[in-house]
Chain A
Amino acid sequence: SAVISQKPSRDICQRGTSLTIQCQVDSQVTMMFWYRQQPGQSLTLIATANQGSEATYESGFVIDKFPISRPNLTFSTLTVSNMSPEDSSIYLCSVQPGWAMNTEAFFGQGTRLTVV
């Protein structure tokens, strides 16, 4: 299993500013992912955070808007840059602790972001 600490849990930000969200895991994990959940909708994968290399972004998401760092196997950050009200969402960190692909994923409690 894995325990994920995500900070901040919520924030209200002014448009045009940036927010960095932290994800700390209590054990080393190979796979770490960032998701966005817009109000009333399902989760959408933003990117896979790769340790020691650039993140792999899904279609519709770009590094300039959502830069990601992963300096080690227990920590990652997601920055939401130049925010607009459309970025108001819950952002979730997820990890897959096992080395095999057929292991379950664990999710943080999310960061609830409101952009005004």
Chain B
Amino acid sequence: DAKTTQPPSMDCAEGRAANLPCNHSTISGNEYVYWYRQIHSQGPQYIIHGLKNNETNEMASLIITEDRKSSTLILPHATLRDTAVYYCIVTDAGKSTFGDGTTLTVKP
């Protein structure tokens, strides 16, 4: 699986959009980009995934650059409950290799 790089931490004001970047410069053609989050003491929760097109669901949007070497997860209106560790993963084999993730803190 390709390696990902994420900033260790980010802050966001409640109600504003949270934009979480991820670099995956060694991604291969058949690897998908997945995002999960882990709220303290809970198992990771799936957010969204994509191959090369931008994706949107009820939780978030995923923007993947044309060269697929980076992506951005967008939480359009962050709430305090979105405070968590966010993991960006690239994989084609089912199993997920977790990096250190980004700790997002949403502040009132």
Contacts and interface: CB of A to CB of B under 8 A. Distances in A.
Contacts of B93: 101
A109 B92 contact: no
Given A42-B87, A102-B49, A102-B51, A109 B97 contact: no
B45 interface: yes
B107 to A, nearest CB: 22
A103 B55 CA distance: 14
Contacts of B51: 102
Contacts, number: 56
Interface in B5-50: 32, 34, 36, 42-46, 49
Contacts of A88: none
B43 A92 contact: yes
Nearest to A1: B46
Interface in A33-59: 33, 35, 42-45, 48
The B interface is mostly helix, strand or loop, or mixed, namely: loop
A108 B92 contact: no
Of the four ranges (under 10, 10 to 19, 20 to 34, 35 or more), the interface on chain A belongs to: 20 to 34
A48 B97 CA distance: 12
Contacts of B42: 109-110
Nearest to A112: B41
Contact of B49 (A4, A104, A109): A104
Contacts of B97: 45
A106 to B, nearest CB: 7
Interface of A: 4, 31, 33, 35, 42-45, 48, 92, 94, 96, 101-102, 104-110
Interface of B: 32, 34, 36, 42-46, 49, 51, 85, 87, 92-101
